[in-house]
Amino acid sequence: MTGPLRVEGSTGDWIRPRLLPWGRHGCPAGAVVPTRFDRIVRVLHPAGDGRTWAEVAATIDRVMHGLVQWACISETFDGRGRSRDVDPEEGSIPAGTLGMVLDHCPASSDVFHAVWDGFGAWEAPARGEPDQLSLPHRTYRVFTAPKEPVTAWPGFSPHWPQSANLIWPADHSWCIATEIDWDFTLIACAEEVAAVLLADPRLEAFAVAAEDDLSWLGDTVNPRPAWLESMATAQRPAEPPATAVTHVAGLVLAAGAGSRYGGPKALVRDPDDDLTWVERSVCRLAASGVRVIAVVVGAEADDVSEILLSGAWARVWSPPEPVSVVIVDADDWAEGMGASLRAGLDAIADAFPAEIEALLVTLVDLPDVTSEVHRRVIHSAAHQAPHRGELAAGLWRAAYAGVPGHPVLIGRDHWAGVATSATGDRGAREYLATNQPLLVECGDLASGRDVDTPGGRAQG
């Protein structure tokens, strides 16, 4: 086939259920390229004058990293328009770069190419026709053509060459996505394809995660120009509505025996304020705004319960509003974290059958995960799910330099699935692997490291 030839948009329907939702103040990679692949590779489009991003960044001592943004490394770009002689191409990957990418993407026959339907160069509108592929926020016309850098399309008369915005083979083994507002391209693929893309010296390529924010605001390493900082300030989430916190409960998993530590970590006492770790965990959750906190106990359950019931923690840190602390005995705590998580979920579900929409789950042995981290996760969720009932459908998770950690905010609709999969010491790990939460970056607030030994505690 010599193509491009029009085909029905249903050939791309497999992409839709594998996309993450777009963020309100950012855009994760997985909202543009389908998830459930081994890796996602980000390939930067070269500057209009042929320079690499690394060469441009070096001129003003900026740092190259996986989420780097042109807006943060270019002295001339002001966000209002692009110079094709200076800035990278936006919304279309240059043919030469695309050819290098396609060299590494296997296909036994022609592949599918999808071009955004909103370009003004189309000679006639196609909205509502069967050959459209409708994905969240974007609609495309779909073609079949050889696996090569196609830049001319039937019925399309652009001022300059236009690449496809999506490309995939019949076996769905990879997918290339060039979002219309981005100056880079994403490739979701198998591990072996990612390895050769990342190793190709002709490409400026980085591995990214599906949850990584690839908007201009996603570069948190390099200084922002004044115009972008103004945008970030305007978009920065304000305090969430009161209902966002009143419908969130906290859950502290504190049942472990702490065999490597030498005793239950819930009972470890910090010399700075004389609070045990379980009390500190409750204080930090309360300071984040939640008013219902469940604490799962197991090893030395009587001692841990006595400390909590004494209320000493509330005298050291006085919450502005009453906090209800529910102690949950996990009889089978020795089975591992899964048993504790099931017990906590069941207790909250039984005690609060409707009003609690989501549960913020944390561990007792996270010494530097403060209330600021808890608040950020809650606030991020509240602004992405601002209406009553929306929190219940969501999953959010703190991340530290892109690495998922705790706390995890679990919407009520997921509680049954989490409880079913929570076995042994894996907690919700398997469920979260197949139902990917939105990551909330908190690496600027904490390390997120848990502490297994007294030596680990001393190190931070």
What pLDDT score does 459 carry? 38
Are residues 409 and 350 both part of a single domain? yes
The torsion angles phi and psi of 341, rounded to 5 degrees, stand at: -65, -45
> pTM here?
0.56
Are residues 16 and 152 both part of a single domain? yes
Give the DSSP letter of residue 107. -
Of 177, 193, 222, the residue at which a domain comes to its end is 222
Structure tokens at 21: 């939702």
Neighbours of 300 (CB within 10 A): 18
Query: Residue 131 domain-assigned?
Result: yes
- The answer for residues whose C-beta is within 8 angstroms of residue 163's C-beta and 6 or more apart is 92, 93, 94, 95, 98, 149, 150, 151, 178
Of 187, 222, 257, the residue at which a domain comes to its end is 222
- The answer for residues whose C-beta is within 8 angstroms of residue 396's C-beta and 6 or more apart is 377, 380, 381, 384, 408, 409, 437, 438, 439, 440
Of 194, 222, 250, the residue at which a domain comes to its end is 222
Are residues 203 and 264 both part of a single domain? no
255 neighbors 298 (Cβ within 8 angstroms): yes
| Residue type (1 letter), 72 | C
Compute the distance between CA of residue 75 and CA of residue 82 in angstroms, rounded to an integer: 13
- Of 103, 74, 109, 111, give the one whose Cα is nearest residue 90: 74
Does 427 have pLDDT greater than 70? yes
Are residues 406 and 339 both part of a single domain? yes
Structure tokens at 343: 């017990």
Query: Residue 228 domain-assigned?
Result: no
Compute the distance between CA of residue 14 and CA of residue 114 in angstroms, rounded to an integer: 13
Work out the percent of the chain whose per-residue pLDDT is above 90.
48
Model confidence at 173, pLDDT cuts 50, 70, 90, reads: very high
β-pairing, 184-189 with 205-208? unpaired
194 neighbors 41 (Cβ within 8 angstroms): yes
* Structural domain harbouring 123: 5-222
Q: Lay out the sheet containing 358-363: strands in order across.
A: 324-329, 292-297, 248-253, 358-363, 403-411, 395-400, 438-441
Query: Residue 236 domain-assigned?
Result: no
Which pLDDT tens digit goes with each residue over 296-307?
A: 999 999 999 998
Are residues 17 and 143 both part of a single domain? yes
435 neighbors 404 (Cβ within 8 angstroms): no
Are residues 161 and 246 both part of a single domain? no
| Residue type (1 letter), 444 | D
When pLDDT is averaged across residues 430-453 and rounded to a whole number, the result is: 85
Are residues 247 and 150 both part of a single domain? no
What pLDDT score does 315 carry? 65
Are residues 246 and 204 both part of a single domain? no
Are residues 190 and 268 both part of a single domain? no
Compute the distance between CA of residue 6 and CA of residue 154 in angstroms, rounded to an integer: 8
Are residues 151 and 258 both part of a single domain? no
Domain count, the chain: 2
Query: Residue 345 domain-assigned?
Result: yes
When pLDDT is averaged across residues 269-292 and rounded to a whole number, the result is: 85
Q: Which residue has the higher pLDDT, 283 or 244?
A: 283
Helix axes 301-310, 277-287, angle to 10 degrees: 50
Query: Residue 235 domain-assigned?
Result: no
Query: Residue 231 domain-assigned?
Result: no
Are residues 164 and 267 both part of a single domain? no
Which pLDDT tens digit goes with each residue over 135-159?
A: 987 899 999 999 999 999 999 987 7
Query: Residue 53 domain-assigned?
Result: yes
Does 407 have pLDDT greater than 90? yes
186 neighbors 176 (Cβ within 8 angstroms): yes
When pLDDT is averaged across residues 314-337 and rounded to a whole number, the result is: 79
Burial class (CB in 10 A: 0-12, 13-18, 19+), 80: exposed
Which pLDDT tens digit goes with each residue over 239-255?
A: 444 344 678 999 999 98
Query: In 327-439, where does DSSP find H-type helix?
Result: 337-351, 371-384, 415-421, 429-434
Span of 59-73, 110-124, 163-177 with lowest mean pLDDT: 110-124
Are residues 216 and 252 both part of a single domain? no
Q: Return the ∠ at Cα 258 (arms to 254 and 260), rounded to 5°.
A: 150
Neighbours of 350 (CB within 10 A): 8
When pLDDT is averaged across residues 317-333 and rounded to a whole number, the result is: 80
Compute the distance between CA of residue 32 and CA of residue 115 in angstroms, rounded to an integer: 14
What pLDDT score does 458 carry? 39
